[in-house]
Amino acid sequence: MTDAIASTRRGAGRPTREQAEARHSELLDTALDLFLAHGFEVATIEMIANRVGMTKRTVYARYADKSSLFLAAVQRAIERQIVPRHVLEELDRGELAETLEAIARLRIGQVMTPNGLRLQRIINTESYRFPTIFTANYEQSAKPVIEFVAGLLDRAIAAEAIAPTDVDLAASAFMSMVVGGTVRAIVSGSTPTAAELDQKVHFTVHLLLDGLRPR
């Protein structure tokens, strides 16, 4: 059997594992796009299957119903927003303000990606129907960053760079003050320039640290 014939037969047969995974990813991305564009109630399995070039039977073979497909699509988007621990550690410059600014820019930059915008907007529009997506996004994506920041603050307290404080509350305040406000503006369509973003992050980080300075 020639290589050409073997290649043709493989192409006409079952997809490879990589091809199947790529098609599944395409299904989930397309589903999230359509759920966002039309809302959960209006978007249908048939609409999603047609858009991605699958049959409804193929979709239902993997997902029992529309809710299962929706939750899987959101979970994929959440997983793509998770910052690995080693990435956070690489941002640790040894100087607290500089490190916090780097973390803030990373998190805000994530939201400015197509995946980040879709995820935030779908959470805003559908979390009343699926409250678990808000909790999942917090637990998997935001909480590890907050815990990392709390560790940085613990280290700063030990070095007497900031006053003793509840580091968990302070880390949550960092996420809310420095990241949250800018994220809400971006999701609503008001994207800052790079200079505006740097100015706001720098100002807010130093405002937070001024409040934690030893008196």
Domain ranges for the chain, please list them: 3-78, 82-212
Length of the chain: 215
Neighbours of 211 (CB within 10 A): 13
Decide if 175 contacts 152 (C-beta within 8 A). Answer: no
Q: What is the pLDDT of residues 57-84, one digit of tens each?
A: 999 999 999 999 999 999 999 999 999 9
CATH number of 82-212: 1.10.357.10
pLDDT value for 8 = 39
What CATH class has 3-78? mainly alpha
Lowest mean pLDDT segment, chosen from 2-6, 26-30, 53-57: 2-6
Ramachandran angles phi, psi of 188, nearest 5°:
-80, -5
Scan for tokens 């939750």, then name that residue.
71
Rounded Cα–Cα distance for residues 35 and 42 (Å): 8
Q: What is the pLDDT of residues 89-120, one digit of tens each?
A: 999 989 999 999 999 999 999 999 999 999 99
